[in-house]
Amino acid sequence: MACEDRPPDETSAELGARLAQDPDLRAELVQTRALLNDLRAALRPAPLTATALTRIQQRLDQLAGACTPSGWRWLRIVGLAAAATVLLTVLAPWRLPRGAPTAFELSGDDAAAIVMACRQLAWSGKLDYDLQRVADELDEIRQQINQDSGGDCRVRWGAGNDWDAPPDSPGPGAMQNRAGHRLTCAPPFAGRPSGTRTPGTLRDQAS
């Protein structure tokens, strides 16, 4: 029978009964089990040799090599890197780190637009911030510029013109037009403890 190599406890009760009655069958079972045990020993798998392991390792290495990015994938990676570089190059001047020589120009119209935007935001009451004061300060700067150069001036507004620095600090705290005039101005939140906010200031004023 096919299941002869199973342990005795796995044999069915019927088979057990037959084995108990038939000594020849019992002897045959013992012989068959011995044969299967011998066969198991003869066919026992040998451990992998070093040569076999090396060959398999090499095939897996080849496979890993074949799995490196294909031409299209490389092209995509290079394209993304180039796009990121261009983006960083374009956006770098806008970061305006302290001490950097880059600057952008702010015209009188730009300043007026900013003043308007700040006033609208402040009046809408959506922002919990004292934008009215910022707008006033910007408006004052714009008017000063117009007075100096008849409205046709461009302000160099770069990292060297830290208008948000304290007014008593040397160097920054002033803006300079092309004519070389220094345009001193107070910082928007000067005279107020830092970190304090005045929510609803404009609404209070309006009421």
Partner 1 sequence: MEAPPASRRSLTANDRRLLERLVRECGPRLLAYVRHVHGNRFDAEELLAEALCRAASNMAALRRCDRHDLYLLRIVRNLCCDGWRRSRDLGAGRSRPEQGSESGPEELLSQREQQAILRQAVAKLPQAQREVVVLRLTTDLKFEEIAALLDVPLGTVLSRMHAAVRRLRERIGCTREC
Give the footprint of partner 1 on this chain (CB under 8 A). Answer: 1-5, 31-32, 35-36, 38-48, 51-53, 55-56, 58-60, 63-64, 66-69
46 vs 206, which CB is nearer to partner 1?
A: 46
Buried b (16+ CB within 10 A) or exposed e, 32-48: eeeeeeeeeeeeeeeee
23 vs 99, which CB is nearer to partner 1?
A: 23
Q: Crossing angle of helices 108-124/131-149, nearest 10°?
A: 160
User: Cα separation of 98 and 80, whole Å?
Assistant: 29
Provide, rounded to whole angstroms, the least separation between the CB of residue 36 and partner 1. Answer: 7
What residue has token string 């107020």?
192
Nearest in space to 144 (alpha carbons), one of 187, 99, 175: 175
22 vs 38, which CB is nearer to partner 1?
A: 38
49 vs 196, which CB is nearer to partner 1?
A: 49
Provide, rounded to whole angstroms, the least separation between the CB of residue 70 and partner 1. Answer: 10
- The dihedrals phi and psi of 104, each to the nearest 5 degrees, come to -125, 160
Provide, rounded to whole angstroms, the least separation between the CB of residue 59 and partner 1. Answer: 4
Provide, rounded to whole angstroms, the least separation between the CB of residue 67 and partner 1. Answer: 4
